[in-house]
Structure 1
Amino acid sequence: MIMPEKLQVLSQFLKSNPAFSGCQKEDLARLLANITVVKLAPGEVVCRSGEDANNLYYLLEGELQTTNKDQVKGPISGFFGEESALGMRSYIYDIEVVESAELVVLPLAAILTLEAYSSFKQSLLDSFHSRLAGQTHIEVDLSPKHDIEVGYRQIIGWLFAIITPLMIYWGLILSQQPLHQDAIYFASILGICSVMWIFRLLPDYVPGLFAVLSAVLLGITTSESAFSGFSSNSFFMALSILGLSAVIRSSGLSYRMLLHLLLIGPASKIWYNISFFSVGALLTPVVPTVNGRVTIVAPFLKDLLSGASKEAREQEGPRLKASLLFGASLLSPIFVSSKSVNFIVLGMLPQQVQQYFQWLDWLLAALVCGMVLLALYAVSLCWVYRNKQSLKLPKTTSLQQLKTLGSLNPAEWSSILGLIVLISALLFANIHRIEVAWVALAILFYLMMFGFLDPNQFRTKIDWSFLVFLGSLIGVVDIIHQVELDTWLTGKIYWLAAYMQESLALFVVLLAVIVSLIRLILPINATVIILATLLIPASIEVGVNPWVIGFLILFLSESFFWPFQASYYMQFLSLTTGIVSNDEAKLMKMNVLIYLFKLVAVYLSIPYWQSMGLI
C-alpha cells in the first residue's frame, strides 16, 4: 500500500508535469491508482538493454546515468524508459543509479490508457530523441494554451446576448405592435440566436437548438412541431447523402476519379485546372456541405504538385488552389442537394412549390445562372492568374498510381452503385413518385448493412453538428410561421417587396447590397435563413414565384470578401498551408469579380425565368 504522503507526491507529479497537462483529469485519476514511487541505492540498475520494456520511469530526485559501453555516458533527467510507451519491445539503454534516487514507475498497462493524447506521446518522443542525440532533455509544455483573459469579442457578445432580447421584448410591447405574446417571446429568442451567430459565441447548431428548446419550454409550440425538422424529409436526405459521401471519401473513389481525369486530357496546366474544378463540381450534388467537399479535394493539391518544379508550384500553384476551392463551392446554389441551407430554403417554400422544385427541376431553373457564371469564372481565372510557367506532369505517374490502387474495391463499387441509384431517383422523381429522401435512406441502409459504412465511420465521418443545425432550423422556420412572425415582418419590409413586382432588376441590386452588408456580421446560413424568412412570404403576396427569391438569396449569399466570412475557406487554408505560397490579393480579386458575375448571370436569367412562367 502506498503511504498517503507518497500519494500526495504522485498526485502533484501528475498535475504539474507538462507531459500530462493535455490529459483529462479522469484518466489521470485512474493512472494514480496504478503508479508507484521507489527509492534505489547507488549502483542499482534500473533497466538493461535488451530487457522487456514494461515500465516508463521519471526521476524525481537523485542522479542516474547510462552505462552502455558502445554509447556515450551521460546523466539522465526527466523521463526515461520511453521505449515502453513508444511501442518498442525492449530497452536500448543500461541505466544505473549514481546517487540515491527516487523514481516514479508507470507500468505499461497504465500508460497505454494515455495513448490517445498527442501531447503526452510528443513529450516522450522529444525526450527519447534528445537522449539519442546525447542532449539533456528539456521538457516543453505541449498542452493547448488558454488565454487567461476572455476576448473582448466574447465579453461584448455575451453582453449583447443578455441585452438584445430585453430590448426586443420591451420594444415590441411599448410600441404596441399587433403581435401575439408568443410571437414577441419568440422574436426575443431569435434576437439571442442572432447575437450568438454574429459574435460566433457558440457553434452554429447550438443557437438553433436553443431556439426550438426555448420555444417548447415557454409553451410557444409543441415539442412535435419544434422538433419536426428531425423527422423531415430534408433531414433524412442530408443524413443519407453524408453517409454516402463518407464512403466515397474513405474508399478512395474520389482520388481515383481525379487520376482518371488527369489521364483523359492533355498533360497541361489548363487541363489540370479543369480537372481540379471538375472534381469539386462533380462532388457538389452528392456531398451536401462545402466543408465536406473541401476536405475531400484539398489533399489533391499536394498530390499533383509534389512532382512539379519550385517555379511551377510558386506560379501555377495558386491557380490550381483557386480551382479546387471554387470547384467545391461555386455551384452550391445550382444543386439543391449541395448544402444544408438549400434544403432549409426548399422547406420554406409552399408545399406545391416544394413538390415542383425537386432536384432536376431546381437544376433546370438555375441552369442559365450556372452556365453564365461558369463561363465568366473561367475567363477571370485565366486573366487573374495568368503566367508563362509551364506545368507538365508525365501521365505515366498517374497511370502507375492507378495501378497501385488496383481494381475497384467493393466499397468503391458500392459508392458508384449508390450514386447511380441516387441520381436516377433524382432525375426520374416525377415518374417513380417515391420520395427521394427514402431512396437515399435505402442507400444508406445498404451501405451500413454490408459494412461499407462501419459504426466508427458512422459516428465520426458524418457531420452530426450540421444535422442538428439543419433539424433545429427547420423547426425554427415552422415556429415562425405558427406565431405569424413572418407575416408581421413581411409588412415591415413591404417597400422592398414592392420592387419584386415593379422592377425585379432593381430588386436584385438592392438585395445584393443588403446581402453584402449582412454577410459582414452574419455567417452564410444565418443570412440566408433571415432573408428567406422575410422575403419568401412577401414574394407570394406580390405574385413572384418564391423559388426565384429563395434562389437569389442563396446565389448572392454564397460569396465572401474576407476569410472570416467563410468557414470552408479557413478550413481550406489550413489544409493547404505550406503547399503553395499564399496569394490572398488575387483570391480576393476573384471573389469581387465573381460577385459581379453573379449579378450578370441573374440579369441574363430573367428572360429565361419569364419563359418558364416564374416571373
Structure 2
Amino acid sequence: MTPTDEHPDEIAAQEQLLRSIDYLRDLDRVDIARLIGSSEDAHFQIGAVIVSEGEVADSLYLLASGTVEVSVRVDGAERSVRTITAPATFGDLGLLLPQRTATVRALTDVQVWRIPRQHFERLLRERPALGLAIARGLASAIDRRDRTRVGAPLQPAEPLRAMMAAPQARRSGLSRVLSIAFAIGVPAALWLLPAPQGLTSAGWHIALVMLGGAIAWLLEPVPDFAVALAMAAAWLATGLAPPAITFGGFTTSAWVTAVAALGLSASMSASGLLFRAALMLLRVFPPTHRGQLAALLVGGVVVTPLAPTVFGRVATMAPVARDLSLALGHSRTSAGSAAIAFAGILGNTILGPIFLTGMVTNFLIIGLLPAAEQARLGWMGWLIAAAPAGLLLLAGSALAVFALNPRSLTRASSVVRRTQERSLGRLSRHELTSLVAVGVFIAGLLLQPVLRLDIAVVGLASLLVAIGGGALDRQTFRSGIDWATLILFGLLLGAGGVLRSGGVDRWIADLITPMARALGHHTYVVLLLTLLVICVRLVLPMVPAGFLLLVTLVPAAPQLGLSGWVVGFVVSVLVLTWVLPRQYEVLRMVRELTDGELFSDRQALAMGVAITVIASLAMLICVPYWRAIGIL
C-alpha cells in the first residue's frame, strides 16, 4: 500500500464516503483533509483476502470500486454474511475493537483507500466527544444488521450529529457580512468628524473603535473574544495605542489569577469533585420539592467561591437538575421542572459577585481599582462588603423559585442519587488534590493582606498544586479552561489602559458628573446605575455587557460619588439578571444541556423580570450599609 496521490475526483469520492458515516458526517474540512491525507491506496485482485477474521484491527477501508464479500467462521467453515459494492465503507468496527470480527474477500478487482487506526486515535484525543459519537453510530449499525438478519422491522433512523462538530450557525453568511459591515461602517463614517468637546482626536478615535465593538457585540456576527481581538487590532493599526498598553492586561495579576481560577475549576470538574459536592448537598436536604430547591440554592452558595466560572458551575448543575426533576415526577416544562431549573441557575450565577473567587470578572474589578482600595478588598473584605446583598439575593431567589410551584408535595426517589454516589466511590486522588488546591487558593487570598503577597502568586501556587497532583493534566488544561473568556478578559483589561491613555475615562466621567451631582444622594446614583445596566442588558448579552460596563464605569466611579468597588459590584450583579431570555447565555446553555425539557420562554421571561426587580432592590437597600462601613 502507498499513500494516495489522488485526482480531485478521487478526493471528492473519499470525502463523500467519509461523510456517509454517521459519526463522521459533521467533521470540519480540516479534519476530513487530514484523514484523506493519511489514506493509503491499495488494489486487490479477485479472491484476494483484504482483512482476515481474528487479525489485528488497524484501519477503516473506503471501497472505491468493486465488490467484496464479508464472511465469518462457523464450525470451522466460512459462512457469507453479506456483500458490499462500491462506493461503501467497511472495517469500521476496527476503530473500537482489537481484532477483526469478519473476513473480507474481493469478489471482483477492488480498489480501496485504507485509513490507519492511529489517525483516528489522534483525532479522538483532540475531539474526545467523537468517541461517544462513534459508539452510538456503531451500535446503531449493529442493531440494523441484526434486525435485517432475522427479518425484524428497522427502527426509524435519526440523523446523528457528531458531538465534536462546531455549533450550527444561527445566522446566514449574508447576515454576518452585513453585521460586520455595519460594525465597521458606523465608526468609519464618524472617523473624520471633529472630536467632541473635552476629548482629543486620539481619544475620539479610541472611543469610535469601542463603539464598533459594542455594535459587533450587539449583532454577534463573530464570537465576543473575536470582537475584542478586532478592537485591539484596530487600535494597533491606527497607532492609537502601542502593544504594551493594548495587551497590557495579559501581564496583570488579575489575568494570571483568572487563569489559575479557571484552571482550578477545570480540575474540580474533570475530577468529579463538583458533581460529588452537588450530590452531597442533595442528600443533606429533604427529598421533597422544596427541600431540593433549597439544596440547589444552597449548593450554589457552597460551590460558587470554590469554582469561579459561571458556565462551569452551570454545566455541572444542569444534568443534575434534569435528573432531579425526573425523580420528582415533574413533567416537561412544568412549573415544578422550571422551579428546579431556576433554583440551580440562580444558585450558581447571581451569587457570583458576592465572593471574590465567585467570578472571573471580580478580578477585573480588582485590577481597575486604585491600589489603596485593592488593599482593602481582599477575600474577606470583599465578602464583608457584599454579604448583605448576598443574603437579600439568596432570600429573593428562594421566594421566586418557591412561588413557581408552591403546593408541590412530590418527593424524589433517592435511588439514582445513591447509585451515582456509590459509582463515584471514595474521594479519588485527583479529587483530593483539587480540594487541596482550592484550599490553598482561598487560604492564600484570605492571608494575602497579612503576608503581602501578590494575588498572582497565590493563584499560581494553587494551580501548581493541582498540576503537580495530577488533577490538571495537559488535556484538561487545554480543553477544560475557557481560553476564549481569558482572551476577552485580557484584552478588555488592556482596553481600560487604552481608554485612560486617550482620556476617554475622564471624558465619560465629565459627562456623568453633572447628572450625579443633580441626583445628589447615593441611593439615586445607584438607582441610575442600576437602570443603566438593565438597559444595556436589554441590548447586549451578559459577557460583553459586563466587560464593557466595568471597563468604562469603574474608572469613572469617583466622579459619580461612588467607590469603584460599588460600581463594579452593582454592574456584576445586574448583568447576571435578564429580561429577554435570548440575551442570557446561561439560559441558552441550560436549554442545550437539557434538550429544552425544564422551562419555557414564558417561564424564563417571568423569572427574569422577577430576579431583575429583586436584584435592583437589593442594591438600593445596601446603600446605607455601604455608607456605614465607609465604602461610600
TM-score range, shorter chain: 0.7 to 0.9
**Aligned 1:188-207 pairs, distance under 5 A:** 188-207=208-227
Check conservation: 1:563, 1:569, Cα contact below 8 A.
Answer: yes
Tell me the alpha carbon deviations over residues 389-444 of structure 1, each in whole angstroms, 9 at most, x when there is no partner.
411324x7655644443332222222222333333333344333323331221111
Correspondence 1:408 to 2:427: yes
Given candidates 231, 243, 247, the residue that maps to 1:227 is 247
Tell me the alpha carbon deviations over residues 248-302 of structure 1, each in whole angstroms, 9 at most, x when there is no partner.
2222222222333233333322221222222222222232221121122223224
**Aligned 1:125-524 pairs, distance under 5 A:** 129-134=143-148, 150-173=172-195, 177-305=197-325, 307-309=327-329, 316-394=336-414, 398=417, 401-499=420-518, 502-524=520-542
Q: Distance in 2 between matches of 1:341 and 1:464?
A: 14
CA separation of 1:148 and 1:474: change in aligned 2, threshold 3 A:
closer
**Aligned 1:544-583 pairs, distance under 5 A:** 544-577=562-595, 580-583=597-600
Q: Distance in 2 between matches of 1:93 and 1:326?
A: 57
CA separation of 1:61 and 1:342: change in aligned 2, threshold 3 A:
same
SS in structure 1 of the partner of residue 220 of structure 2: coil
**Aligned 1:77-92 pairs, distance under 5 A:** 77=85, 78-87=88-97, 89-92=99-102
Q: Distance in 1 between matches of 2:284 and 2:183?
A: 55
CA separation of 1:401 and 1:523: change in aligned 2, threshold 3 A:
closer
Check conservation: 2:356, 2:362, Cα contact below 8 A.
Answer: yes
Q: Distance in 2 between matches of 1:148 and 1:296?
A: 25
SS in structure 1 of the partner of residue 114 of structure 2: strand
Q: Distance in 1 between matches of 2:426 and 2:511?
A: 61
Tell me the alpha carbon deviations over residues 502-546 of structure 1, each in whole angstroms, 9 at most, x when there is no partner.
133333443333322222222334333444455445441354333
Q: Distance in 1 between matches of 2:591 and 2:462?
A: 33
CA separation of 1:7 and 1:586: change in aligned 2, threshold 3 A:
closer
SS in structure 1 of the partner of residue 481 of structure 2: coil
Query: How well do the aligned residues superpose, as a CA RMSD in angstroms?
Result: 3.6
Q: Distance in 1 between matches of 2:282 and 2:210?
A: 49
Check conservation: 2:299, 2:347, Cα contact below 8 A.
Answer: yes
How far did 1:165 drift?
1.7
Aligned twin of 1:606: 623
Q: Distance in 1 between matches of 2:418 and 2:34?
A: 54
Q: Distance in 1 between matches of 2:615 and 2:497?
A: 30
- For this pair of structures, how many residues does the alignment match? 607
How far did 1:609 drift?
1.9
How far did 1:65 drift?
5.2
CA separation of 1:262 and 1:179: change in aligned 2, threshold 3 A:
closer
Q: Distance in 2 between matches of 1:400 and 1:148?
A: 39
Worse-matched range after superposition: 331-340 or 117-126: 117-126
Code of the aligned partner of 2:147: A
Q: Distance in 2 between matches of 1:291 and 1:390?
A: 29
SS in structure 1 of the partner of residue 538 of structure 2: coil
How far did 1:26 drift?
7.0
Check conservation: 2:257, 2:460, Cα contact below 8 A.
Answer: yes
Worse-matched range after superposition: 358-367 or 125-134: 125-134
How far did 1:347 drift?
2.3
Q: Distance in 1 between matches of 2:177 and 2:479?
A: 32
Correspondence 1:35 to 2:40: yes
Check conservation: 1:84, 1:108, Cα contact below 8 A.
Answer: no
CA separation of 1:430 and 1:69: change in aligned 2, threshold 3 A:
closer
SS in structure 1 of the partner of residue 488 of structure 2: helix
The two structures have a TM-score, normalised by structure 1, of 0.86
Correspondence 1:102 to 2:116: no
Code of the aligned partner of 2:194: L
Check conservation: 2:257, 2:363, Cα contact below 8 A.
Answer: no
Q: Distance in 1 between matches of 2:333 and 2:297?
A: 18
How far did 1:152 drift?
4.9
SS in structure 1 of the partner of residue 406 of structure 2: coil
CA separation of 1:326 and 1:166: change in aligned 2, threshold 3 A:
same
CA separation of 1:596 and 1:310: change in aligned 2, threshold 3 A:
closer
Code of the aligned partner of 1:474: L
SS in structure 2 of the partner of residue 87 of structure 1: coil
CA separation of 1:257 and 1:288: change in aligned 2, threshold 3 A:
closer
Q: Distance in 2 between matches of 1:154 and 1:54?
A: 43
The two structures have a TM-score, normalised by structure 2, of 0.84
Worse-matched range after superposition: 368-377 or 123-132: 123-132
Runs of at least 5 residues in structure 2 that lack an aligned partner in the other structure? none
SS in structure 1 of the partner of residue 93 of structure 2: coil
Correspondence 1:528 to 2:549: no
Check conservation: 1:72, 1:134, Cα contact below 8 A.
Answer: no
How far did 1:24 drift?
4.1
Check conservation: 1:251, 1:411, Cα contact below 8 A.
Answer: yes
Tell me the alpha carbon deviations over residues 210-252 of structure 1, each in whole angstroms, 9 at most, x when there is no partner.
3334434443333333322112111111111112222222222
Runs of at least 5 residues in structure 1 that lack an aligned partner in the other structure? none
Code of the aligned partner of 2:243: S
Aligned twin of 2:11: 11
Q: Distance in 2 between matches of 1:26 and 1:439?
A: 40
Q: Distance in 1 between matches of 2:507 and 2:43?
A: 75
How far did 1:326 drift?
0.8
Q: Distance in 2 between matches of 1:312 and 1:39?
A: 56
